[in-house]
A = this chain, B = another copy of it.
């Protein structure tokens, strides 16, 4: 008998299992969050980001903003973190994101409340897990939608005999429609000065297919990623509980995939420092896990380019951002490798993200 035994033992929530979800279910996520100037500063310290618009109030003013806007990647991580407790505490794998739309700029002092609707459910053939599709959205204190996104995740069943009422697999767009990539009404780069971004390449000079290896590497240690993940109040146990992870094949805490995204985005500054405003994440996959001690490198490819009518101060680029660990891309033969007849990502590739950004 252990000392926890008590006449009245209360079991706190263990999160939802696959059979706990149902199509159309609305999940109102806990712990609304006011994002502060300090979140923005910590984001710089945690990632090394240097996109000038988020670093200097004078530049924000010159780009049409009254205050320095928050980096949409930061806003995304904080909003995403809210969904973990209800959606993915019992996840085996985060399978992907799609259709991440940013409806308006977010500023320090704004409070986000996040909820999700279950839009798809599909049990796996093993009978042990299933895929849950959610459509999540974050609203501010004025009840305006700041961002919304879709995500699917493989979740364990608790009761292997449980059956769900209805299965449905939603169709997800491969790319956020240009019209849904809201140009913040105030944004303009007419007063931009090239030194602001260390004279990086500009929209008018970049071409479809251009590929950039961003050169710098960033090694991640446990304190780094756990600080970031706690800042986002993402409470997935795999990031924090080494005692539990001792028993897993890798024996290490997993780094939150969103931290890898932000590290890659920060590395991208050297080359894409003018791809300033995240307007959409079209899709993404965490191809392999990352652990403490891994050094992350990043390569980007321009996979789309759209002029914006009536604007010659900026354009929209679509970027494939690849994160690679402990290796530089010139030493990798192919993004994919065949393992047991199945096409899989090369084991050094940790991220394949497709996003769109407004570029100076």
Contacts and interface: CB of A to CB of B under 8 A. Distances in A.
B32 A52 contact: yes
Interface in A308-349: 326-327, 329-335
Contacts of A1: 333
Interface stretch (A98-106, A150-158, A171-179, A195-203): A195-203
B219 A240 contact: yes
A67 to B, nearest CB: 11
A50 interface: yes
Contact of A8 (B209, B218, B221, B227): B209
B39 A233 contact: no
A227 to B, nearest CB: 5
A333 B111 CA distance: 45
B217 A244 contact: yes
A360 to B, nearest CB: 13
Contact of A37 (B10, B38, B47, B231): B38
A95 interface: no
Interface stretch (A53-61, A119-127, A350-358): A53-61
Contacts of A33: 55-56
Interface in A211-269: 211-219, 221-224, 226-228, 230-231, 233, 235, 237, 240-244, 253
Interface string A39-78: 1111011111010100111110000000010000000000
Contacts of A9: 210-213
Interface in A107-137: 109, 111, 113
Interface stretch (A17-25, A161-169, A180-188, A293-301): A293-301
A240 B211 contact: no
Contact of A42 (B38, B201, B233, B332): B38
Contact of A207 (B8, B199, B243, B295): B8
Nearest to A253: B219
A55 B29 CA distance: 14
27 contacts: A3-B334, A3-B335, A4-B213, A4-B299, A4-B329, A7-B209, A8-B209, A8-B211, A10-B271, A11-B213, A14-B215, A30-B196, A30-B197, A31-B197, A32-B56, A32-B196, A33-B56, A34-B56, A42-B45, A44-B230, A44-B233, A50-B235, A57-B111, A216-B237, A219-B243, A221-B223, A243-B327
Interface of A: 1-4, 6-14, 28-34, 36-42, 44-48, 50, 52, 55-59, 68, 85-86, 109, 111, 113, 141, 195-201, 206-207, 209-219, 221-224, 226-228, 230-231, 233, 235, 237, 240-244, 253, 270-271, 273, 293, 295, 297, 299, 301, 326-327, 329-335
Closest 5 CB pairs of A and B: A12-B271, A30-B198, A217-B241, A223-B223, A243-B295
